[in-house]
Amino acid sequence: MEEIKLTFENGSARSFPKGIPLRELAVKIEKENHFPIAGKVNNRLVDLSSPLHDDAQVSFIHLNSREGLDILRHSTSHVMAQAVQDLYRGAKITIGPSIEDGFYYDFDCDKSFSPEDLEKIEARMREIIAQDLPFDRMEVSREEAMSIYQEKNEPYKVELLRELPDEKISLYRQGNFLDLCRGPHLPSTRSITAFKLTGIAGAYWRGDERNRMLQRIYGTAFPDQKLLDDYLRRIEEAKKRDHRKLGRELDLFSFHEEVGAGLVIYHPKGAMIRMILEQYEIKEHLKRGYQVVRGPEILKSELWKRSGHWDNYRENMYFTEVEGQHYGLKPMNCLSHMLIYKSQVRSYRDLPLRYFELGTVHRHEKSGVLHGLFRVREFTQDDAHILCTPEQLFDEITGVINFVKDVMKIFGFEYSLELSTRPAHSTIGSDEDWERATGALRKVLEENNLPYDINEGEGAFYGPKIDVKLKDVLGREWQCATIQCDFALPERFDLTYVGSDGERHRPVMLHRVILGAIERFLGILIEHYAGAFPLWLAPVQAVIVTITDRDLEYGESVYQQLSDVGIRAEKDMRNENLRLKIREAQLQKVPYMLVVGDKERENHGVSPRHRSGKDLKMMNIQDFIALVTKECEEVFH
C-alpha cells in the first residue's frame, strides 16, 4: 500500500496509508478526551472527513481554540438557519458568518421576528442538534450549484454564486438543509452543546442602503455551559455599562436627528471630560518632544488625489465645492503635516520632527454601522506624524510603544499588540518599501521582546502598522492606538532632507495615535469605569450638600474655596431631604459629597462622604483639598 509522510506540530513525522481520512488519523494519535473537531493541512483548515493523499504538515483544531470557536459558531449559524426555514416557510437565506463572540445569519422573511420567535428557533435548534446530523461537504460545479439554488428559490445564494471565481463550489448539508459554504464545519450537530440566540436587528443586503432590508439574528456558542453562562453575565453587565445609556443618565452627550446621524453634541460634563483628556494629551506630547500643529478641515481634491486617498479612500470621504474649486473634508490629518514639513529645507540634524494635532476629521460611515460614540461621522484624533531618517525608525517606533505603555497604565488597561500587514488590493508604494516598513515594525517588536499576533492583510493602504488592542474591565478588546510605517507618502509628496553627505534623502513617516478617536476612547472609558470616573478625570469631583438654609452662605464659601484651587465642584443647596440629595449625587457618580451643616460651619470644615458610601471624618477645607490633590497626583506616579 502506498504511504505518505505526515509532519505534526511537535516536529515529529510518521508514515500513513495514502488516502487516510483526517478523522482516522486523529483516532490514532489524539487523546480520547481531547478529540479534535477539524484539522489543518499545510496551514489550510479542513474537515475531519478530508482524506490525505500527499505528504503534508498536519495539525488538529480543538473546540477551546480560537479557530475551534469560529468553527463551532459558524456551524451553529447553519443549524439556526435550518431551524428558521423549518419554522417559517418561504424564509430566504443569505449569509451567516461567525463574528467576534458569536455569529449571525441574515434572512429575508415576511414574518417580523420577535423575542418570542427566538425561543421557538432555539427549541427547534435543540431538536436538530439532538438528531446528531453530520455536516457533509459536497463539491459541485458552479452551474450545478446555481441550478440547485434557483430550484430552491434562493436568489441571494444565486447572486453570490454569480460572483464567485471558483469553478468548483463547496456546499454543506445537515439533514434537509443545504448551504453554500467554504467550511470547515463540526463533524456533526452533536458537538453543539451550549448556545444562545441573543438579538434581532435590521441589516441591508451586502450593507448597501439601496438594497432590501433583511432581518439579522445574532447568537453565540461556547464549548460548555459554564463558558456560555459567564459570557451572558458579562453581556448583562455590559448592558448596564452601555455608554449610550450612561451618557444620558450622567448628562454627558446627546445625538439629535435634526442635527444628523453620527454627530455628537457634548453637554457640560462630557465636554469637561473631553477637555481633561485633551489637556493631559497635550502635556504628555510636549514632554516627549512633539510640536503642536493644526491644519484646515478642507483641502483641495488635487491633494487627495496626489496622496492616494482619492483612489483608495474616496468612498469614506465628504466633498464640497467652493467657487468652482473641488475640496475634500479631511478624513485624516497627514497631508497638512507633510506640507508643514515641506515648507522649508530640512537637514538630518533637524530630524526627527514630531508633529501633533488634536485634529477633527470626518468620515462617511453608513448609517447602519453608526453606534453611539464608538462609530461616528465626525471625531477628533490625537494624531501625530513623525518624520525621521530610516536609521531613526527603531528608536521612534520604540518611543511610541513606550508612550502607549505609559498611557494605558494611567487608565488601568491591559493591552496586546498586532502587526497588520499589506492588504491584498488598493495599496500605494513599492514592494520594497512595504518590506522595509514591515521589517522595521517587526524588528522593534522582536528586539524589545514584545509578544504580538499577525493580522494578515489589515494594514493601511499606504503602509503596515502595529495595532494596540486594549482590554477593558469586562475582558473586551478595543483597537485604539496604532503605529503606521509609511515610505510611500513621503515619496508622493517629494519630502526630503539634506544628509551629512550634503545630498538629498527621503525621510520615513510614522502615522500614530495613542488614544485614537477621542469620542471612541471616551465611550470605552464610560463603559470601563461604569461612569464612575477616577477622581482626576471626573467632570465633577465634589458636590457641596447643605443640610438647612442656615448653611447656604457657608456652602457658597466652601464652593468658592474649592473652585479657586481648581477642584471641579458643584453645589446642591435645594431645600430637600439630605438623604435624597446624597442619593442623587451617588447616582451621578460624583466621587465626593461634602456635607455642610451647623457643625461643619462652626468648625470651618466639611464632612466628606465617598460615592462608595464610606463616610470620612470631618476635616477642614485645606485638608480636603490636600486629599483630592494627593489622590489625583498618585495616578501619575
Nearest to 376 by CA among 466, 204, 243: 243
Specify whether 485 is catalytic.
no
Q: Which of 383, 433, 467, 551 is catalytic?
A: 383
Residue tagged 460614540 (cell numbers): 373
Nearest 10 degrees: CA dihedral of 380, 253, 586, 234? -70
Q: Which of 274, 285, 309, 385 is catalytic?
A: 385
All three cell numbers of 269, joined, read: 460634563
Nearest to 169 by CA among 157, 177, 181: 181
225-241 vs 518-529: helix axis angle to the nearest 10?
A: 110
Nearest to 105 by CA among 79, 77, 86: 77
Distance CA 553, CA 601 (A): 9
Q: Which of 124, 241, 309, 465 is catalytic?
A: 465
DSSP H/E element including 268: helix 268-287
The answer to whether residues 373 and 522 touch, using CB atoms and an 8 Å cutoff, is yes
Specify whether 425 is catalytic.
no
For residue 282, what are the contacts with CB-CB under 8 A and spacing of at least 6?
A: 292, 356, 358
Nearest 10 degrees: CA dihedral of 51, 52, 58, 63? 0
For residue 350, what are the contacts with CB-CB under 8 A and spacing of at least 6?
A: 497
Q: Which of 381, 392, 541, 588 is catalytic?
A: 381
DSSP H/E element including 394: helix 393-411
User: In terms of residues, how long is the chain?
Assistant: 637
Specify whether 344 is catalytic.
no
Specify whether 511 is catalytic.
yes
Looking at the DSSP bridge assignments, the partners of residue 216 are 106, 201
The answer to whether residues 135 and 172 touch, using CB atoms and an 8 Å cutoff, is yes
The answer to whether residues 38 and 48 touch, using CB atoms and an 8 Å cutoff, is yes
The answer to whether residues 488 and 463 touch, using CB atoms and an 8 Å cutoff, is yes
Specify whether 325 is catalytic.
no
The answer to whether residues 291 and 353 touch, using CB atoms and an 8 Å cutoff, is yes
Specify whether 5 is catalytic.
no
Distance CA 74, CA 580 (A): 51
Distance CA 405, CA 399 (A): 10
Specify whether 363 is catalytic.
yes
Q: Which of 243, 422, 511, 601 is catalytic?
A: 511
Rg (CA), the chain: 30
Q: Which of 74, 269, 346, 363 is catalytic?
A: 363
**Helix, strand, coil percentages for the chain (3-state, nearest 5):** 40, 30, 30
Burial zone of 191 (CB within 10 Å; 0-12 exposed, 13-18 middle, 19+ buried): buried
Which residues are part of the catalytic machinery? 334, 363, 381, 383, 385, 465, 511
